Amino acid sequence: MSSVPSETTSSARVRTPTPGAGRKRKKSRDPLPIGSIKGCAAGLAALFVLLSLFASAAAGTDNPGILYLPFSLCSLYLGALAAGIGAVRCTSQPVLSGLTAGALYALCVFLMSLLPLPESGLPSSVYWILLFTTVPAAVLGSVLGQRRAKKPPYRR
């Protein structure tokens, strides 16, 4: 008999499992202020894109003046929702990241309203109510946008 080992025995190695093998590494999350700033930036980007889309859609109608207010409010709240979703994707704290991103988003919208533009015709009390309700919209976005654990596969 020859002392040469067969190919099947030499290629079949027994591997011992290493500790932690098979587990996915969690992505490192940003700290809360950085995640909130990223979420606010995502919300402001969504606001500007939606405002331009809605303005061009309204301009194609016969009477665009009646559509500007509903479209701008829709853009405002969808932008706040996007701010909450963007913040929670960067951090691991859903409600707190939504609160801070919503407050930062409301502050940015308030600062943009100080630009010398024509008046909107809204009373100041309605304006402040609309501005402060963007924060709960961002919290809603952060709760809806958080990643959920995967369900185990169905077994029969």
Residue 104 belongs to a domain:
yes
Confidence of residue 17 (pLDDT cuts 50, 70, 90): low
Instruction: Quote the domain boundaries for residue 52.
Output: 32-114+122-145
For the chain, give the percent of residues with pLDDT over 70.
Answer: 74
Burial of 70 (0-12, 13-18, 19+ CB in 10 A): exposed
Residue 4 belongs to a domain:
no
Q: How far is CA 98 from CA 63, 106, 112, 135, in A?
A: 37, 12, 21, 8
State yes or no: pLDDT of 35 exceeds 70: yes
Mean pLDDT, the chain, rounded, equals: 81
Question: What confidence score (pLDDT) does residue 101 get?
Answer: 92
Residue 93 belongs to a domain:
yes
Q: How far apart are CA 22 and CA 144, in angstroms?
A: 29
Residue 47 belongs to a domain:
yes
Residue 88 belongs to a domain:
yes
CB 39 within 8 A of CB 90: yes
Residue 153 belongs to a domain:
no
**Could you tell me how far CA 112 lies from the centroid of its own chain?**
21
Q: What is the pTM of this model?
A: 0.72
Question: What confidence score (pLDDT) does residue 30 get?
Answer: 76
Residue 45 belongs to a domain:
yes
Domain count, the chain: 1
Residue 7 belongs to a domain:
no
